[in-house]
Amino acid sequence: MNVRLRTSSREGMPFRARANTGLLGAAALIVAESMFFLGVLSAWYYLQVISLGNWPPAALRPRTFTLPLINTAIILVSTLALFWGERGIAAGNKRRLTIGVAVAAATGLLFMAMQTVEFSGLGFRATGSAYGSMFFALLVFHLLRVFVGVAWMAVVLIRSLMGQFDQKRRTVVQACAMYWYFITVIWLIVFAVLYLL
């Protein structure tokens, strides 16, 4: 130190952050992801407005929403399982975390499998029209998010099995759970926009 300043730490002490940087970082990434989603969603509505009532084009309307409805149930089960597991480790219960994450990751995988079935059953493709492109964009971008979420949960599951988390060390679990809740909310919006509205 070249000038005389008041200091707080002893020499060589590590720096203590003011807040949980891992959680803040995950929250910031979720903001970025939301903007990505809002960008694509705005494109959907923009094209809907300029299509002057021809949206969806008559031939292209998805026939049913049974499968996506089942998928909605699946992802909600997944989120509940992860919430249960995350609350478990917050109370120090390592076994609850392992079971919760395992169930959440498995149902997440099931969701992905069901989505690919949904893609082939839609009866239209991404290439024929702007509507088809936007429809698939909203689904595929969401599927990619689910893939990231499932991969993240797999990491949490392995680390949980290795006993790396406890009441104090669970930032990664919290961040992963935050991201998965976010994905669930996005799915509810995507489902409503594509199939219900």
Contact positions vs other proteins (CB under 8 A) = 1-22, 24-25, 28-29, 31-33, 35-36, 38-40, 42-43, 46-47, 50, 126-130, 132-134, 136-137, 141, 171
- CB of 153: closest distance to other proteins in angstroms? 21
> Which value, to the nearest 10 degrees, does the dihedral of the CA atoms of residues 158, 162, 167, 168 take?
-100
Closer of 89 and 104 to other proteins (Cβ): 89
Distance of CA 81 to the CA centre of its chain: 14
Nearer to other proteins, 106 or 148 (CB): 148
- Beta carbon nearer to other proteins, 16 or 196: 16
Token pair of 99, please? 């079971």
Rounded to the nearest whole angstrom, what is the least distance from the CB of residue 29 to other proteins in the complex? 6
- Provide, rounded to whole angstroms, the least separation between the CB of residue 175 and other proteins: 12
CB of 40 to other proteins, least distance (A): 5
Closest CA to 84 of 97, 67, 75: 97
The Cα angle at residue 81 between residues 79 and 83, in degrees rounded to 5: 70
In this complex, which beta carbon is closest to other proteins, that of residue 41 or of residue 104? 41
Amino acid found at 87: R
- The least CB distance from residue 178 to other proteins, in Å, is 14
Asked if residue 86 lies in contact with residue 94, where contact means CB atoms within 8 angstroms, the answer is no
- CB 161, CB 126: distance < 8 Å: no
User: Which CB, 47 or 110, lies closer to other proteins?
Assistant: 47
Q: How far is CA 44 from CA 40, 69, 130, 134, 162, in A?
A: 6, 21, 9, 6, 44
